[in-house]
Amino acid sequence: MSENAVLIAETRDRAGKGTSRALRRDGRTPAVIYGDKKDPICVSLETKELVKTIHRDAFLSTVYTVQVGSAKHNVLPRDMQLHPIYDTPVHVDFLRVSAKSQIAVMVAVRFLNEEECIGLKRGGVLNIVRHEVEMMVPAGNIPEALEIDLLNHDIGDSVHISEVKLPEGTHPTITDRDFTIATIAAPTVEPATDEEEGAVEDTDRETGEEETEEADD
């Protein structure tokens, strides 16, 4: 497993709402480390440092090393509860992993050559069905994104998961169908506005009046 970013944690002797509230008042976020057939460990992390990490990384799809005293745990964040008003973390669950662990993570989709895409240059619209795809991946080699080249796609084309070159050792968690990731849709024709319709009606009225005048002459 490649070297991971390190999060410094402290053990917390007791669990429960009262202890968690006290930790948050002191600027710390309660968390738990579990999995790998070992006992769970209750810990806490400095909230300010945790927030910086969350904003910097793809937090829920990045493997970290949580250091608790002299012990180090390679972990993947599996769940994060946020404050309903301040949007700050109030609790995090960490799953122990190893380089050989296969884990399910959401991997972002990245589109290449949008400006040169045949269909988009003809006025088509990129309709993104999935911005992320849930993948089974090695914990030691989580892909940053699935890259899809749009260069030769035209209006009416669909991009399915079977067309995407997947990183080695990975596969989508959905295996029973060839699901769509994006389509190149035909451009939509905007309906005329009330002002435009009024202008047409005025033009028709004027034309009718001119024809009447000519008939009188």
Tokens 């940053």, residue located: 144
Containing H/E element for 5? strand 5-11
Nearest residue to 142 (alpha-carbon basis) of 54, 63, 64? 63
Give me the residue spans of the domains in the chain: 5-98, 103-185
CATH class of 103-185: mainly beta
Amino acid at 204: D
Do 5-98 and 103-185 have matching folds?
no
pLDDT in tens, 122-154: 999 999 999 999 999 998 888 889 999 999 999
Q: What is the pTM of this model?
A: 0.69
pLDDT in tens, 71-105: 999 999 999 999 999 889 999 999 999 878 899 99
Check pLDDT > 90 for residue 108: yes
Nearest residue to 123 (alpha-carbon basis) of 68, 186, 199? 186
Q: HSE of 6 in the Cβ direction (CA atoms, 13 Å)?
A: 8
To which CATH superfamily is domain 5-98 assigned?
Answer: Ribosomal Protein L25; Chain P (2.40.240.10)
